[in-house]
Structure 1
């Protein structure tokens, strides 16, 4: 319960950071028009004027470009990083489409001094942006889970378990940095050799993005 409370607080912290990063002062631009007296000569000349882009027009163009790039909700193609709380995990993520990604998580946990726990999860994840906060997304998905546990007491045989896992989380990608922070929970259900529910997976992550 304590770890779940920490993850929940981290969810809220990421949302707060993302909202603070999004709020930027808007600069107001004013335009002034200068008129110069026309010079007259004995010979009449025909002159042509080229249209000059105004602040309003450039703003419209920038808005169109932003809208065009809005389809890429990931903000990056791949990432590698670390995840904490339920042990220490190495995580790697690769986007296979604009909103879909594959993530592999390799975790180590000392199991409170009872032994060594090594687990691997292979997950498919769906990502979607949160409106109003650039760079902030929620994601959920699922996949397979393998867990190997060896007791500190060498007289007890090690156990390898197989099962399925789900994931739900929140991620924020910094606009000007190749970094993303996340908080997620990864519940699992072990199928073999014995069945049972596992909630001690997931955590707080930081990734370097490509």
Structure 2
């Protein structure tokens, strides 16, 4: 079902890119809402607090549990490519895995609820699609957990499709 939802969202987003009423200026948005897909699947809300600084909230599922991130990101233009920016930042996360509903990879058999919290770094690219209200991002977000049993999660990568308003 997640694949069908993701495919439908991509198709609708592509159609909206060609609607003249949806056109906007590059970089003229304050808030975006999007869906993430990669090593995890979930959603994202990003709000710019200055011209180049943003706060992003991510909520996603991974290993059949739930993780939430709050990140600060600094965006910088890539002058050679119109509509393309790169960003770097950091923040924190908190995740929950419930017995009977998930088995995180750091345990042999889940016999209790697990929680993980820690710090995150993020680096990525953000592209405005055809000068529209649609943006696509690719990011890498390594995390370090303060619990002994989880340690470093270095493999978190995702594409995010966002709509700005």
Alignment-derived partner of residue 146 in structure 1 = 94
Deviations 1:32-69 (CA, angstroms, capped at 9, x unpaired):
xxxxxxxxxxxxxxxxxxxxxxxxxxxxxxxxxxxxxx
Alignment-derived partner of residue 30 in structure 1 = none
Higher helix fraction (1 or 2): 1
Deviations 1:14-37 (CA, angstroms, capped at 9, x unpaired):
xxxxxxxxxxxxxxxxxxxxxxxx
Q: What value does the CA root-mean-square deviation take over the aligned residues? A: 2.1
Higher strand fraction (1 or 2): 2
Specify every segment of 5 or more residues in structure 2 that has no aligned partner in the other structure, as ranges. 1-24, 103-109
SS in 1 for 2:79: coil
- Distance in 2 (CA, whole Å) between partners of 1:98 and 1:108 is 31
Contact kept? 1:142, 1:164, Cα under 8 Å: yes
- From 69, 77, 86, the equivalent of 1:121 is 69
- Distance in 2 (CA, whole Å) between partners of 1:176 and 1:140 is 23
Alignment-derived partner of residue 99 in structure 1 = 52
Determine whether 1:156 maps to 2:98.
Answer: no
Per the normalisation by structure 1, the TM-score is 0.59
Per the normalisation by structure 2, the TM-score is 0.74
Structure whose CA Rg is larger: 1
Specify every segment of 5 or more residues in structure 1 that has no aligned partner in the other structure, as ranges. 1-71
Higher relative contact order (CA 8 A, sep 6+): 2
Aligned length: 134
